[in-house]
């Protein structure tokens, strides 16, 4: 959902600290009754606030949403994206191959990399990896969590472009018929082919290195500066 109006955010913040508040107590901005009533009704209609015994409290939905708020700045805190990267391997005539996807959407249009996708609300890591692999390639495989990668991606001017948490999952014994999707073209590449790709994701070399020797604590944090996004 879009971030609520500033007045509505103030109401939500007030209810975080003062549940069971009266209508007049919530109107800390001193708005006219009609104007303030509109904002309270909007929050109620959207399921963030409810009235109980003449006072207002946050619903479970309202608590979950408001808990993301920076209460000093009265805005929703921007947080890292949480995703999985699925690294699929198989042997072809004694040579190890990786399943690579050429991305056909922005950002990073035409870059080669591994299968990836967002972890949905309520999903386990392996369930997200299994779903993404099937949706993007048509394959199923044996999955194993390897390590957590936290990336900060900067422009050459020093602007933070992306903050991402990747759960790295390895997939073996892939089964099924490989397919392409609108968002990407899939193909099997040897490690040399992948590394020599003219346009590949900025982290491919590091990921392949870390696969050979995963971190002891299973957490890696890495910053990258890229030319194009």
Task: Dump the DSSP string for the chain.
Answer: -PPPPHHHHHHHHHHHHSSSB-HHHH-TT---HHHHHHHHHHHHHTTSEEEETTEEEE-HHHHHHHTTEETTTTEEPP--EEEEEEEEEEEETTEEEEEEEEE-SSSSTT-EE-EEEEPPTT--HHHHHHHHHHHHHS-EEEEEEEEEEEEEEEETTS-EEEEEEEEEEEEEEEES----BTTEEEEEEEHHHHHT-SSB-TTHHHHHHHHHS--TTSEEEEEEEES--
- Going by CATH, does the domain composed of 6-76 fall within 1.10.10.10? yes
Q: Does position 1 have pLDDT exceeding 60, yes or no? A: no
Residue showing tokens 């939905």? 61
**Residue 20: both structure tokens together:** 């069971």
Q: Does position 220 have pLDDT exceeding 60, yes or no? A: yes
- Percent above pLDDT 70 for the chain: 100
What topology does CATH give the domain 81-226?
Nucleoside Triphosphate Pyrophosphohydrolase (3.90.79)
Write out pLDDT tens, residues 72-92: 999 989 999 999 999 999 998
Q: Does position 203 have pLDDT exceeding 80, yes or no? A: yes
Residue showing tokens 């990267």? 85
Q: Specify the pTM.
A: 0.85
Task: State the pLDDT confidence band at 109, using cuts at 50, 70 and 90.
Answer: very high
Write out pLDDT tens, residues 31-63: 898 999 999 999 999 999 999 999 999 999 999
| Boundaries of every domain in the chain | 6-76, 81-226
Q: What pLDDT was estimated at residue 44?
A: 96
């Amino acid at each position: 959902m879009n971030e609520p109006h500033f007045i509505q955010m103030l109401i939500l913040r007030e209810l975080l600290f003062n549940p069971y508040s009266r209508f007049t107590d919530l109107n800390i901005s001193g708005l006219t009754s009609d104007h303030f009533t509109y904002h309270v009704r909007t929050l109620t209609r959207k399921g963030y606030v409810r009235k109980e015994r003449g006072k207002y409290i946050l619903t479970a939905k309202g608590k979950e949403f408001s808990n993301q708020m920076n209460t000093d700045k009265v805005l929703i805190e921007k947080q890292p994206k949480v995703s999985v990267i699925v690294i699929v391997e198989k042997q072809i005539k004694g040579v190890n191959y990786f399943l690579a996807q050429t991305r056909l959407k922005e950002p990073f249009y035409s870059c080669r990399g591994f299968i990836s996708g967002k972890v949905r609300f309520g999903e386990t890591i392996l369930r997200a990896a299994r779903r993404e692999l099937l949706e993007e390639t048509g394959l199923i495989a044996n999955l194993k969590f390897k390590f957590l990668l936290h990336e900060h991606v900067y422009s050459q001017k020093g602007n933070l472009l992306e903050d991402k948490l990747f759960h790295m999952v390895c997939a073996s014994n892939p089964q099924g018929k490989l397919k392409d999707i609108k968002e990407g073209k899939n193909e099997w590449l040897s490690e040399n082919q992948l590394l020599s790709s003219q346009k590949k994701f900025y982290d491919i070399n590091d990921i392949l290195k870390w696969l050979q020797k995963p971190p002891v604590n299973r957490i890696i944090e890495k910053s990258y500066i890229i030319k194009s996004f």
